[in-house]
Amino acid sequence: MKPRIAIAAYRMYKPGSTPAYSSREELVRAILAAGGRPYLLPSALPSDSVEEIISDFDGVFITGGGDIHPDRFGGAMHPSVGNIDPERDVFELALCSQAVAMGKTLLGICRGMQVLNVAMGGTLVTDIPTFLPDAGRHEWWPRYKRSRLSHPVRVEEDSHLAGILGGTEFMVNSLHHQSVKNLGQGLKIAATAPDGVIEAIEMSAKPFVLGVQWHPEWLLNSEPMQRIFDAFVEASARAR
C-alpha cells in the first residue's frame, strides 16, 4: 500500500462564487510522482480532532500561501502582511505540532516552513525589506515566473537536506517576503541564502521533518528538487 499523505487544503475565493477548499495541482502531482497517495484535509476541520485525523496518514504536507497572523508568534502587524486566514492558521499550526508529537513525517514549503517554525515556538521576520534592509530581494512573484531561479542557497553539509539533494549549492526560486527569525524548539538551520536569510530548517531527531522556503514544485525539471518529494514519501512509507 502506498503512503497516505495528508495535504492541508485552504480556502480559495473567486469573484461570484462561494469559497472552495483546494491545493495546487503541482503539489498533488509531485506527491503522486513520488509514489504517494495525496488526500486533501480542509482547514475547516476542528483543530481538536487533528490527532485522530492524522493517525490515519503516514505523512503531513503543509504548503505555501498567505501570511501567518503576527499574533501567532508575538510579532507586530506590518502593512505588507496579507492574505491572513485565521482558520488556516489554527488548523495548520495544530497539524504541525501534532505531526511532530506523533512522529509523523512532515514537509513544509514556503508558508509551510514558517508554520512549522511557529508551531515549535519560533518567530518570523514579518517583512524582509523592512527588518532586514541589507538582505537581497526574496519576493519575485507576481512580476516574474514562479520558476525563476532568483538566488543560490548554501545547504549545510551535515544536514539531512544535503543528503537528499546530493550537494550543498543550488539555485532556487524565491516568492516570499517573510522568513524564519528565531528557531523553534528542536529545529536547526539546513540552508541559508547568501544574505543570511534562512532557507531551510529540519529536525534531525525525527525521521523526516523538513521545511524549505523556496517552491520545489515549480522546479521539478531539476532532478534534485523532485528528490525532496521522493525522500518525503519514502520516509513516510518507512515510518508506518
- Distance between CA 4 and CA 91 in Å, rounded? 19
- Distance between CA 222 and CA 43 in Å, rounded? 31
- Distance between CA 213 and CA 102 in Å, rounded? 24
Say whether 110 is catalytic. Answer: yes
Q: Which three cell numbers stand for residue 35?
A: 509514489
The answer to whether 15 touches 69, Cβ cutoff 8 Å, is no
The answer to whether 62 touches 108, Cβ cutoff 8 Å, is yes
Q: Is 110 left (phi over 0), alpha (psi -120 to 50) or beta?
A: left
Say whether 96 is catalytic. Answer: no
Catalytic pick from 92, 96, 110, 234?
110
Catalytic pick from 151, 160, 177, 215?
215
Catalytic pick from 92, 199, 202, 217?
217
Say whether 217 is catalytic. Answer: yes
Residues marked as catalytic: 110, 215, 217
